[in-house]
Structure 1
Amino acid sequence: MKQKGILLESGTGELEVLEFVVDNKHYAINVIKTKEIFEVKDIIKIPNSSKAVAGVSLVRGETMSLIDMRYVLENKEMDRDKKNMVLSCEFNNMKVGFLIDKVLGIHRIGWNDIKEPDSVVGDSLVIGNIVLEDKVLMLLDFEKIVLDLTSSKGSYEGKIEKVKHSKERGKVKLILADDSRMIREMLKGTLTAGGYTDLTFFDNGEEAYRHLLQLAEEKGEGFKENVDILITDIEMPKMDGHTLTRKIKEHNILKDLPVLIFSSLITDDLHHKGKSVGADEQISKPNIDSLIEIVDKYTLNK
């Protein structure tokens, strides 16, 4: 079935998650990442590929790579001889299918209802836990799943190597909000390579907003002495990037702060959501090489 007409208004602090099951455990994905749900039987195995890659299948005349979520999560392979349910997703300008057992439904929740995993979990695929009555849905980091299986991380590193360094950027102050430690490291690597040294990172939008509010309360219009631009992800626990952007643009002092949304969810279909909350720029995460150019535009070339 196709998912249509269920996108929420941007910046409301709410999202809709799709609940699905893999090996009798309950998981969730942000609905806006899910393009379609369908069954597939004929899966062609790719030689010498990771066991986590089930293979490819022909979907309306086009091949789609399929990731075996049972193997990713439980180190067990799904039965390719039976029909499998597929979540077709699009993020980072990439379309990919995830094999799951079944879909149970859609839930509307607040971003602040997503609880961050305990620090003892470490570098897990779970980016948040959602409590629904008598069960817990684990919100998964699908971006990390794909990055772990592809050379995408290597392509990031290749782009970092091409960045030209400028000492002038050392005077620019950036605040960044992203819940992924891996993406924070990539951002730090790219910006540092370009000469940006004054970087303040936050794990979620709520912490970033509190910091900005404190600056506004203490310094008024002078808050700009401490920050030149904000770079934020969209999908984060506690407060998402769209809500963070809207709150900043509605604030009588913070409204002039340039906000750059850097997310895997910047697609042609979803670009309007960032625009509606007042984002100054939006970049899809694969395009990290254009990040410095845009930051320069709002800090050095203003």
Structure 2
Amino acid sequence: MSSVLNTVDQRTNLVGENRLELLLFSLNSRQTFAINVFKVKEVIKVPVLTKMPGAHHNIIGVASLRGVSVPVIDLRSAIGFPYSDYGESEQNLIVTEYNRSVQGFLVGQVKHIINTAWTEIQPPPRTAGRANYLTAITQIKNVDPPELVEIIDVEKVLAEIIHYDVSISQEVLDEELVREMHGRKVLIVDDSSTARNQVRDTLSQLGLEIIECRDGREALNLLKRWSDEGRKVTDELLLLITDAEMPEMDGYRLTYEIRQDERLKDLHVTLNTSLSGSFNESMVKKVGCDRFISKFQPDMLVEVAQDRLRELLTKS
């Protein structure tokens, strides 16, 4: 345990193209769950918690970490598991940063970190239904039998606790551009249905038609199929907005593949992710994204769409 707790902070700084590291943990069950190490700030023993009257029922209190108040979410309860009292030696706090907010997740045993490739990450079975709290699954193959690892859709967990406002500030809107938006198409690519909903609910207010894909592979296949049919993708789409972390093909690889295809290379690509800014700024330059914005900022999404349309209208 101590080796995991002592090395998480350093390992979050590792950068690997189309690779990720997963922090594995239990929720007082036989199943193994995981989240991306890039989003983990630290793992600690659970400190003294202060109760918050009127807080969401999945928020069990607030921890004071170096003078900062951090809400603590019971992750087991948040994903729909029945209540289970962790033994004091079994519970840990995973402190994370998502969408520019810091929160802690109460979990059971923190196991270890595995290094894997996005190609080894698969979406959950469609038969799992829309109500599941998984964004992907993978396997640890060097054990007998292979161990299934379920990757939590943290954005969905947070969206059910924190209200995300999709309203657009009036001062951001350019009414002349908005009139030109109607009927234009935007492709959004994200493995989290919650994240796709947030982007869709924001941009559809402009009259944009939203097309959705669950991962980079699905999006690339769609774009190539359109091109094979003789359709000009840059005429079909105003822009593409993609997450960075996705099973089968991440947003960086998707952008790289788009830039390598003569039929697609001029497609405007915006990276929309909850990962750290410094990491993404270097990757954006490396693979050729046009813009990078952190989740979830409705006004910024609108500005990206308006800037792209303004650029097209200026050229025409």
SS of equivalent to 2:57: coil
SS of equivalent to 2:148: strand
Distance 2:259 2:277 in 1: 22
Match of 2:37 in 1: 31
Match of 2:220 in 1: 209
Distance 1:83 1:19 in 2: 14
Give the deviation of 1:203 after TM superposition.
1.4
Match of 1:101 in 2: 108
Q: Give 1:175's match in structure 2, choosing from 187, 190, 194.
A: 187
SS of equivalent to 2:9: coil
The 5 A counterparts of 1:68-217 are: 68-73=74-79, 74-79=81-86, 84-122=91-129, 123-133=131-141, 134-152=146-164, 155-156=165-166, 158-159=167-168, 164=173, 166-197=178-209, 199-217=210-228
- Which runs of 5 or more residues in structure 1 are unaligned? none
Match of 1:267 in 2: 277
Distance 1:290 1:272 in 2: 20
Distance 1:236 1:269 in 2: 16
Q: Deviations over 1:224-246 (max 9, x none)?
A: 22223111112222111121112
Cα distance, 1:241–1:76 mapped onto 2, change above 3 Å: same
SS of equivalent to 2:249: coil
TM-score (norm 2): 0.84
Match of 1:60 in 2: 66
Q: Deviations over 1:112-138 (max 9, x none)?
A: 222222223222111111111321110
Q: Give the conservation status (yes or no) of the 8 Å contact 2:121–2:247.
A: yes
Cα distance, 1:139–1:167 mapped onto 2, change above 3 Å: same
Match of 1:13 in 2: 18
Distance 2:76 2:135 in 1: 18
Cα distance, 1:242–1:21 mapped onto 2, change above 3 Å: same
Cα distance, 1:19–1:80 mapped onto 2, change above 3 Å: closer
Q: Give 1:245's match in structure 2, choosing from 255, 266, 282.
A: 255
Q: Give the conservation status (yes or no) of the 8 Å contact 2:155–2:194.
A: no
Q: Give the conservation status (yes or no) of the 8 Å contact 1:168–1:195.
A: no
Q: Does residue 1:4 correspond to 2:10, yes or no?
A: yes
Cα distance, 1:290–1:118 mapped onto 2, change above 3 Å: same
The number of equivalent residue pairs is 296
